[in-house]
Chains A and B, each alone.
Chain A
């Protein structure tokens, strides 16, 4: 069964360092989402791609976060510099279109120390 792949599963980094997460969506899925989930809360959208184009990045802290999906397939989310408040689960999801069922990866648990 096709899955959304994310790596790494866990990441510990010191504050002010750079960190990057990778996501490979289900093959053929044009829409890709990055979400951040703080413990005990629901996921919050950071950025949404349709193919290689950004559809929504209104909640992305652009002073330190960046995201790209250069060939419209896999995607990278970067944080530079990391802050203590960035500690969270980072989830990637994909769907065939922006209106279809979304499938999530296992997430990357980030701890900033």
Chain B
């Protein structure tokens, strides 16, 4: 059974810092990995999708990498802003279903 872990559970940084969020998974036989953002009380917004054959994806200030063999993905956020404050979730799609980590709650202080 696929297990997805996100570290840290919470992170607080001053505005302007670059930061890295981590996601690990136990079974490397995946189709893709997707990073989401969730604001309090809201649904999930898709940020980046990495196919299993890819190593990274970039969108604006966000860069996600995937190392399937080691079961790890990172989400890099450059020049963080207060508007980036949210919970970030990673989800792994394997042969069975899309399984989520518990998320990292990010706070960016002005």
Counting chain B residues whose Cβ lies within 8 A of the other chain, the interface size class is: 20 to 34
Interface residues on A, range: 20 to 34
Is residue B102 within 8 Å, beta carbon to beta carbon, of the partner chain? Answer: yes
- Proximity string of chain A (17-43) to chain B, C-beta cutoff 8 Å, 1 when within and 0 when not: 000000000000000010000001111
Cβ B102 vs Cβ A42 within 8 A? yes
Closest to A55 in B: B97
Interface string of B24-50 (1 = CB under 8 A from A): 000000011010100001111110010
Q: Which residues of A contact B99 (CB under 8 A)?
A: 45
B13 at the binding interface (Cβ < 8 Å): no
State which of B45, B46, B96, B102 has its C-beta within 8 Å of the C-beta of A41.
B102
Within 8 Å of chain B (Cβ to Cβ): is A99? Answer: yes
Known: A43-B44, A105-B43, A109-B41. A56 touches B36 (CB 8 A): no
Is A76 an interface residue when CB atoms closer than 8 A count as contact? no
| B-binding residues in A (CB < 8 A) | 4, 6, 33, 40-45, 48, 56, 89, 91, 93, 98-99, 101-107, 109
